[in-house]
Structure 1
Amino acid sequence: MLSSPDAHAFAHYANVPTVAGQSNSLSQLSFADAGALMIERFGFGTASAVFSITGADTIAALTGPDPTRRRLGLISIGSNRLLSTWFIKSGSNPPQGALSLITYDPNAHTAVERDLLTGLGKPVGIAVSGDNVYVSDQANNDIVKASLSALLASSQAVAASGAFVQINSPDLMTVDAHGTLYTKCNTTGLCRIAPDGTIGVLANDFQDARGVAVDAPRGLLYAIDRATASGGTSYVRTFPLN
């Protein structure tokens, strides 16, 4: 994990433990209570994990979450609670995934996980705006919407019902103060989705749009433009928020 004071010069901040025989593959990071950073390891079906980073090279894994779940999206909702998207892939079968709640003890680094929203294919991004929680389902090319309070209050997992919008190849997501979503779209695009579901293309020249984050004080959207498998350079790109 790297940090930068100016989004230009990056330096080492913390190492996330690697797994022998697996490619390095980190998923989303999120600021949590008291300024801790939470980050996921994808795990490729055997070694996913959620880590708490409380300072430079001060990192601890949460015990409890299922390591066979391939984890992608992560967002803190306060009170030592995280929303996590994950999927399980078995051979050539279609992926099956869900949105879950992870409640953790920041001192003991223990956690309990329960599923909130099921019936998804490959859920990737999560965004919360007011009581609305949005999840991008890459396998089904859509974004689903649900009431977060209803999911949290339900005694059992709720099955996803219908799409908020259809969009090609959505990935990690973020949302601004106006409820506008931002995520990858199509092969080379980065899209904005208005609260009424209207889709607009913000840029269409990405190599591979991945993580996105809103910097409200500076009025900026940050987006990762990841190098392709054939080579190239990865970038952090910025866009003004109107």
Structure 2
Amino acid sequence: MKAWRPRVRRLLAVSLTCMALMGLSLAQTASVPDLHPLTLAPNGLWWDPSEQQLYLTDDVGNRLVVWRDGALTGRSLTLPPAPASGAGLGQLAREPGGRWWVTRFGFGKDGSVLTISPDGAPLALSGLSPQRRRIAVQVVDAGRVLIGWFVKDIAGGVSLLTLGKDGQATEADVVEGLVKPAGVVLAGDHLLVADQGTGRLLSFPWRPQTSGRPQDASAGRVVARWDPDAGIDLMVADSRGTLYIGARAGFLDAVSSTGEVRRLVSGLQPLRGVALDEAGRRLMVVELGRPTGHGPALRVLPLD
């Protein structure tokens, strides 16, 4: 019975050595995250539990694509034409009724918010400031979303966007004084914001029907901190309030509702969008391409 144990130890040592050579380290995860190369330029992710499939933004095709059972399905959703500055697609989110919301970064001149109706009709909303670089989007209810935006070296905040008739939108700021809010999540009666520019995860009281002056970033409760150079980015929450957040530095962290930060994996290439299949107990994260590494990919990480 004991004869197999040294061999298992040797195999484990070899596996850990290989991981170290790749720069990959794990903490409290079930296994090495699976690597699925992608022949597109992904950024945002959205897992649809009813359809059991993943939606990704694609800057190359200016579209949404569908991934299921380890591969792209070949199905795509059309978005409004991209401006001269490029597609610049950010996060995506879906209302229970089927409407899609997608942010367009815009690089300081073409910032926008896009929708796709349940019947597949794409629309670029009007009435919004094109100078705002838009990244995060979080559905509030039918026709309303929260948007994370910033104007480089000037201002950043979170706004409540309301969809009106004929694609006209209105935008009211609910948080101001941020630097670069890359991630926005609603968790119960709290609005959580990942401010990439300061490396802080901030919590604000959320009152969807309250009007008046926006809350200042200084009033936010600091839930967790990272080095600003790490580049915390898009995030997703589970039903228990745990947040999962990736970073440009190549790590993926879990943050509990009490602010405890747990490193799930590190040593990856820069990360962007994160999606959660809560029933399947797995995370999916976009890994950007790197000239000295591999091209764009989707990582799938089992959760314990």
User: What TM-score do you get using the length of structure 1 for normalisation?
Assistant: 0.89
2:203 to 130, 145, 149: 145
Residue 128 of structure 1 deviates from its aligned partner by 1.2
- Taking a change above 3 Å as real, the CA distance of residues 23 and 231 of structure 1, as seen in their structure-2 partners, is farther
Determine if the alignment matches structure 1 residue 213 to structure 2 residue 275: yes
Q: Counterpart of 2:242?
A: 180
What one-letter code is carried by the residue in structure 2 that aligns with 1:23?
Answer: G
Aligned residue type for 2:125? L
Q: Helix, strand or coil: the match of 1:177?
A: coil
Confirm or deny that 1:17 pairs with 2:81. Answer: yes
- Superposed, which structure 2 residues align to 1:76-225 within 5 Å? 76-89=139-152, 94-105=153-164, 108-149=166-207, 152-160=209-217, 161-162=219-220, 163-168=222-227, 169-185=231-247, 187-225=249-287
Unpaired runs of 5+ in structure 1? none
SS of residue matched to 2:97: helix
Give the AA of the match of 1:178.
R
Amino acid at match of 1:156: R
Q: Which residue of 2 aligns with 1:26?
A: 89
Query: Please, which runs of 5 or more residues in structure 2 have no aligned partner?
Result: 1-63
Cα distance in 1 between the residues matched to 2:291 and 2:150: 23
The Cα offsets for residues 147-167 of structure 1, whole Å up to 9 and x where unpaired, read as 111x64141111122522112
Deviation at 1:14, TM superposition (A): 1.6
Structure ranking higher in helix proportion: 2
How far does the alpha carbon of each residue in 1:39-86 deviate from its partner, in whole angstroms, 9 at most, with x for none?
Answer: 011001111111111258621111122111000001111131100000
Contact 1:15–1:57 (Cα < 8 Å) also in 2: no
Please tell me whether the aligned partners of residues 139 and 146 of structure 2 are also in contact (alpha carbons under 8 angstroms). Answer: yes
Which runs of at least 4 in structure 1 moved beyond 4 Å after TM superposition?
none
Contact 2:180 2:197 (C-alpha < 8 Å) held by counterparts: yes
Q: 2:299 matched to which residue of 1?
A: 237
Distance 1:14 1:132 in 2: 33
| Contact 1:99-1:115 at 8 Å conserved across structures | yes
Task: Flag the structure with more relative contact order, 1 or 2, with Cα contacts below 8 A and sequence separation at least 6.
Answer: 2
- CA change 1:123–1:95 in 2 (3 A) is farther
CA distance in 1, matches of 2:166, 2:286: 33
The worse-fitting range, judged by mean Cα deviation, of 171-180 and 107-116 is 107-116
Q: Secondary structure at the match of 2:232?
A: coil
Shift of 1:230: 5.8
Aligned length: 235
Distance 1:6 1:29 in 2: 21
What one-letter code is carried by the residue in structure 1 that aligns with 2:295? Answer: T
Q: Aligned AA for 2:215?
A: V
Counterpart-to-counterpart distance in 1, 2:262 and 2:134: 28
Gap change, CA 1:80 and 1:19, over 3 Å in 2: same
Counterpart AA for 1:74 = V
